[in-house]
Amino acid sequence: MFLFFIILKSINTMKKYISCVNFGKNKFENFLEIGHL
């Protein structure tokens, strides 16, 4: 049961990290597009 909890927690952490990375990438791409204009 405890192991399951650890796995669940690490999956949530990964999801948060991935969404943060995607958010940053989108911001960066928007910044580049504005920079080109």
d(CA 17, CA 6): 16
pLDDT value at position 33? Answer: 86
Residue 1 DSSP label: -
Q: pLDDT averaged over the chain? A: 91
pLDDT value at position 4? Answer: 93
pLDDT value at position 37? Answer: 60
d(CA 1, CA 29): 42
Quote the pTM value.
0.59
pLDDT value at position 36? Answer: 67
Element (H, E) at 32: helix 2-36
| pLDDT bracket for residue 1 (50, 70, 90) | confident
Distance of CA 37 to the CA centre of its chain: 27
